[in-house]
Structure 1
């Protein structure tokens, strides 16, 4: 029989795994959108990709919050 402490550990491990998978999906989605953002100059796309790679979760969230809405001339 599984005790309650083991059940809590399994639940925490499962939630942690979901958080990691969600973060990876967010990062991949941001990188795909950055590569397809032809309205941005090449240097801007490279900067955004570097931001997502160097600060993965923060960079991806920043891309979806700000970067995706920038109109380049």
Structure 2
């Protein structure tokens, strides 16, 4: 095992930062899904599964289209 170079530390730091961002986005999405009164239980379950199984995609999809009140 050799020493870790500065470039490797930067890569490790960026990977940790990206992981933390995805974690925070997922947690915020799950909290919002739990509080969304306009969602029926089956739709809420689907959103939770989407965020848990594909955190970046699921959270992004929730913020893009799921966090909208129905127009009817």
Query: When the two structures are superposed, what TM-score results if normalisation uses the length of structure 1?
Result: 0.85
**Conserved in 2, the CA contact under 8 Å of 1:41 and 1:72?**
no
State how 1:4-19 maps to structure 2 within 5 Å: 6-19=5-18
Moved over 3 A (4+): none
Query: When the two structures are superposed, what TM-score results if normalisation uses the length of structure 2?
Result: 0.86
Length, aligned pairs only: 69
* Corresponding residue SS for 2:67: helix
Note the aligned Cα RMSD (angstroms): 1.6
List runs of 5+ in structure 1 lacking aligned partners: none
Residue 15 of structure 2 corresponds to residue 29 of structure 1: no
